[in-house]
Amino acid sequence: MVGDDSGLSEAGEELSASIGGSVVLNKPLGPITSFRLGGPAAIFVEPADEADLELAGLVANEHGIPMLIIGKGSNVLVADAGFPGVVVRMGKRFEWIRQGASVERVEAGGAASLPQVSNWAAKRSLTGMEFAVAIPATVGGGVAMNAGAHGSSVSEVLESVRVCTLAEGRTEEVEAAELDMRYRRTKLGPGALVCSARFILAPGDPATIRDRMKEHRVHRAATQPSEAPNAGSMFKNPPGGSAGGLIESAGLKGSRMGEAEVSTKHGNFFLARPGATAQDVYDLMAAVQTSVEEKFGVTLVPEVRLIGDFDLTAGLKIPG
């Protein structure tokens, strides 16, 4: 088992005997991330319900084992050595979408994808979620990072969420106003898992909604590379600027570290070419960050989450 010790072994046995969902030891994480990179999780849990989530959190906390929450894996970079703890991913049983207490309210499980919610709303002539039609994230991940595109974000349509605080094994309803949602961040910590969310939309013109969604899909296809695995935007846009623009202005498109490459189509997308390692991507992030800082005095802040242990020699800065 990755990072094998008595605590991990005992936790794995306890979860395997108690969880109603699925428990897998040494589960490869690369195949379930958009980068397709990284090593295994020591313990991988797909809960059947909220009770499973709470139990997983309590067991990991009891044994002092780190926990990681992963959705569609579209904004993460897993270290080549993997993650020596418990990884929780909500599966099909959390992938539901339904109408809420009123026509304008849409409720969705944390594993439902943002494009699924966008399309569900469009079929019912509800507007407000068009921006999410091409965002490759789950509802849970989208809420946690306040995902956005085309000038809109989750914070504008979110009413409330059900959050499981894993360390405490406790699930509760939280109003959106309590999340302190800002650009690509919320107050939700790494041990807080969004089980479900409620959105407030508005009646709209079906044709206008369809046209807007089509524009967003076309824009994504035209501006974002798809020829090799990637995690979307690698760095957050600095205030009043564009991370991709700064990277391009620094002459870094096409730069490589090992088999990781800065896309020639979009400077803020890094591609994992055949043979690339997670360390290659990390080193490329550090090199790009350093170059942009030297040329423009701007320290780019990573948008992707780094999971596990990397060789830190390259010196990537992760501001608090």
Active site residues: 184, 233, 303
- The whole-angstrom separation of Cα 287 and Cα 264 is 16
43, β-bridge pairs: 25, 86
Cβ-count burial 87-99 (b if 16+ within 10 Å, e if not): bbbbeeebbebee
Q: Transcribe 8-71 into DSSP letters.
A: HHHHHHHHHHH-SSEEEEEEE-GGGSTT----EEEEEEE-SSHHHHHHHHHHHHHTT--EEE-S
Strands 148-149 and 152-153: antiparallel
State the Cα–Cα distance between residues 70 and 90, nearest whole angstrom: 8
Instruction: Read off the amino acid at residue 222.
Output: A
CA-nearest of 225, 231, 193, 185 to 75 is 231
Cα 74 from chain centroid?
5
Nearest Cα to Cα of residue 238 among 296, 196, 164: 296
Backbone φ and ψ of 168, nearest 5°: -100, -10
C-alpha span between 185 and 188 (Å, rounded): 8
